[in-house]
Amino acid sequence: MKTTKQEKVLDFIETIYSGDVDFRYYLEGNEWDNTDDINELISDNSGFYFEVIYYGSAIDYLRENDVSLSESIGLANEMGFDFSNVNSEVLASLLKSENERYEWDEVANEIQEFIDNL
Protein backbone atom coordinates (compact mmCIF):
# COMPACT_ATOMS: atom_id res chain seq x y z
CA MET A 1 0.00 0.00 0.00
CA LYS A 2 1.38 3.39 -1.01
CA THR A 3 1.36 6.09 1.64
CA THR A 4 0.33 9.46 0.26
CA LYS A 5 1.76 12.80 1.29
CA GLN A 6 -1.53 13.68 2.97
CA GLU A 7 -1.53 10.44 4.98
CA LYS A 8 2.00 11.18 6.16
CA VAL A 9 0.94 14.66 7.23
CA LEU A 10 -2.11 13.32 9.08
CA ASP A 11 0.07 10.78 10.87
CA PHE A 12 2.48 13.56 11.82
CA ILE A 13 -0.34 15.78 13.10
CA GLU A 14 -1.52 12.96 15.34
CA THR A 15 1.95 12.68 16.88
CA ILE A 16 2.33 16.37 17.81
CA TYR A 17 -1.21 17.67 18.30
CA SER A 18 -2.68 16.96 21.72
CA GLY A 19 -6.07 18.63 21.24
CA ASP A 20 -9.46 17.12 20.47
CA VAL A 21 -9.96 18.10 16.80
CA ASP A 22 -10.38 15.01 14.62
CA PHE A 23 -8.20 16.09 11.71
CA ARG A 24 -8.84 12.93 9.71
CA TYR A 25 -12.56 13.58 9.79
CA TYR A 26 -12.18 17.06 8.31
CA LEU A 27 -9.28 16.43 5.93
CA GLU A 28 -9.61 12.97 4.41
CA GLY A 29 -11.24 13.20 1.01
CA ASN A 30 -10.58 16.94 0.70
CA GLU A 31 -7.91 18.84 -1.19
CA TRP A 32 -5.32 20.62 0.94
CA ASP A 33 -1.66 21.43 0.53
CA ASN A 34 -0.68 23.50 3.55
CA THR A 35 -1.69 24.54 7.05
CA ASP A 36 -3.71 27.48 5.74
CA ASP A 37 -5.84 25.04 3.74
CA ILE A 38 -6.12 22.75 6.78
CA ASN A 39 -7.14 25.64 9.03
CA GLU A 40 -9.74 26.80 6.51
CA LEU A 41 -11.28 23.34 6.08
CA ILE A 42 -11.58 22.85 9.81
CA SER A 43 -12.79 26.39 10.55
CA ASP A 44 -15.34 26.37 7.74
CA ASN A 45 -16.82 23.17 9.17
CA SER A 46 -16.82 24.42 12.78
CA GLY A 47 -14.16 21.89 13.71
CA PHE A 48 -12.63 24.18 16.29
CA TYR A 49 -16.00 24.71 17.96
CA PHE A 50 -16.64 22.53 20.96
CA GLU A 51 -19.82 22.49 22.98
CA VAL A 52 -19.37 21.53 26.60
CA ILE A 53 -22.72 20.24 27.76
CA TYR A 54 -24.02 19.52 31.22
CA TYR A 55 -23.33 21.68 34.20
CA GLY A 56 -20.93 19.21 35.83
CA SER A 57 -18.77 18.84 32.73
CA ALA A 58 -18.70 22.60 32.24
CA ILE A 59 -17.73 23.28 35.84
CA ASP A 60 -15.01 20.61 35.68
CA TYR A 61 -13.59 22.13 32.48
CA LEU A 62 -13.63 25.63 33.93
CA ARG A 63 -12.12 24.43 37.22
CA GLU A 64 -9.24 22.82 35.32
CA ASN A 65 -8.68 25.63 32.81
CA ASP A 66 -9.99 28.94 34.18
CA VAL A 67 -10.62 28.89 37.92
CA SER A 68 -11.10 32.66 38.13
CA LEU A 69 -13.32 32.66 34.99
CA SER A 70 -11.43 35.72 33.79
CA GLU A 71 -10.40 34.20 30.47
CA SER A 72 -13.80 32.71 29.63
CA ILE A 73 -15.68 35.84 30.69
CA GLY A 74 -13.24 37.91 28.64
CA LEU A 75 -13.99 35.74 25.59
CA ALA A 76 -17.73 36.11 26.14
CA ASN A 77 -17.31 39.86 26.46
CA GLU A 78 -15.20 40.08 23.28
CA MET A 79 -17.85 38.14 21.41
CA GLY A 80 -20.61 40.48 22.58
CA PHE A 81 -22.53 38.01 24.72
CA ASP A 82 -25.42 39.31 26.80
CA PHE A 83 -24.41 38.18 30.26
CA SER A 84 -28.00 37.45 31.22
CA ASN A 85 -27.71 34.48 28.84
CA VAL A 86 -24.28 33.27 29.90
CA ASN A 87 -23.87 30.18 32.05
CA SER A 88 -21.12 27.68 32.85
CA GLU A 89 -21.79 25.67 29.68
CA VAL A 90 -21.43 28.74 27.46
CA LEU A 91 -18.24 29.85 29.23
CA ALA A 92 -16.73 26.35 29.09
CA SER A 93 -17.65 25.98 25.40
CA LEU A 94 -16.08 29.33 24.51
CA LEU A 95 -12.93 28.51 26.43
CA LYS A 96 -12.57 24.98 25.06
CA SER A 97 -13.03 26.26 21.51
CA GLU A 98 -10.43 28.97 22.09
CA ASN A 99 -8.02 26.46 23.63
CA GLU A 100 -8.37 24.15 20.63
CA ARG A 101 -7.58 27.01 18.23
CA TYR A 102 -4.58 27.93 20.38
CA GLU A 103 -3.37 24.31 20.44
CA TRP A 104 -3.58 24.22 16.63
CA ASP A 105 -1.75 27.53 16.31
CA GLU A 106 1.04 26.18 18.52
CA VAL A 107 1.81 23.30 16.13
CA ALA A 108 0.79 24.78 12.75
CA ASN A 109 4.27 26.07 11.88
CA GLU A 110 5.88 22.74 12.73
CA ILE A 111 3.32 20.95 10.56
CA GLN A 112 3.94 23.38 7.70
CA GLU A 113 7.67 22.68 7.92
CA PHE A 114 6.93 18.96 7.79
CA ILE A 115 4.76 19.49 4.69
CA ASP A 116 7.45 21.60 3.02
CA ASN A 117 10.07 18.90 3.64
CA LEU A 118 8.02 16.10 2.09
Domain ranges, residue 33: 5-117
pLDDT of residue 1: 47
Backbone phi and psi for residue 38, each to the nearest 5 degrees, phi listed first: -60, -50
Of 23, 4, 2, which is closest to residue 108 (Cα–Cα)?
23
- pLDDT of 116 over the 70 cut: yes
> How many angstroms separate the CA atoms of 72 and 59, rounded?
12
5 residue type, one letter: K
Q: pLDDT digit string (tens) for 14-31?
A: 999 999 999 999 999 999
> How many angstroms separate the CA atoms of 117 and 50, rounded?
32
How many residues are given for the chain? 118
State how many domains the chain has: 1
Label residue 111 by pLDDT band (50, 70, 90). very high
Let me know: does 33 contact 115? Beta carbons within 8 Å. Answer: yes
Q: pLDDT digit string (tens) for 49-60?
A: 999 999 999 999
Burial of 93 (0-12, 13-18, 19+ CB in 10 A): buried
- CA angle 13-19-21, nearest 5°? 75
